[in-house]
Amino acid sequence: MNYFVTAIGTDSGKTLVSALLVEFLKADYWKPIQAGLPRDTDTVMGLVSNTQTTFHPEQFLLQLPASPHASARHEGLEISLSDFQLPAASGDLVIEGAGGILVPINDRDYVIDLAGKFSSQIILVSNLYLGSINHTLLSIDYLQRNHLPIKGIIFNGPSNPESEQIILKKSGLTCLLKIEQEKSITKQVISKYVDQLKQTWHDTP
């Protein structure tokens, strides 16, 4: 199975969640498009303890920290969905998107179209802030209307029970995990949340 980690926006916590899933599933990791440095692959590699994971190289490693379509154009490139081939993984594969679900990779396609291309189960990361209910429900609505299967949602940041409960009620999604505001992200923190994820993962479709 492959899982596509996307979010309601940039810097929502996709890389942290990807590391958690990689460690939990002992899955391979792939970031198809990296725009700007540092590489998210290096970050995930530094947080994972298991020795089974293979870290697959990016299809596009772009220098400008911008939308992939803009970063590629800056380098005289144009990204096409046909450029991407799923890497060979011995087991599960965690795919990390770039930015939010509707970040463009060219003038036609969005990052989330990679999830559709690879028939991925989607993990949606929602970081909680003023306005995140709207952003989260709009993201979910787009995914559901386009028949993209959502495994569940992960809330990231200081808890906001009212926001969390209304998002889950309106969307019908399962909350896989709530990640607190951590002072630092270490392998020990990853291990703590992996233990929590074990309680909810198999209860979801």
Sign of CA dihedral 179, 56, 94, 104: positive
Domain count, the chain: 1
What domain range is 63 assigned to?
A: 2-203
Q: Are 160 and 130 in contact (CB under 8 A)?
A: no
Q: Residue 59's closest CA among 78, 26, 85? A: 85
Look at the block and give the residue holding tokens 């990791």. Answer: 29
**How high is the pLDDT of residue 69?**
97
CATH of the domain at 153: 3.40.50.300
Mean pLDDT for each 10-residue chunk of the chain (205 residues)?
96 96 98 96 97 97 96 96 95 97 97 98 96 97 98 96 97 96 94 95 73
Query: Catalytic annotation on 31?
Result: yes
β-bridge mates for residue 96, sequence order: 5
pLDDT at residue 202 in the model: 80
φ, ψ for residue 57 (rounded to 5)?
Answer: -70, 150
List the catalytic residue out of 31, 117, 169, 187. Answer: 31
Residue 33: name the closest of 103, 124, 119 by CA: 103
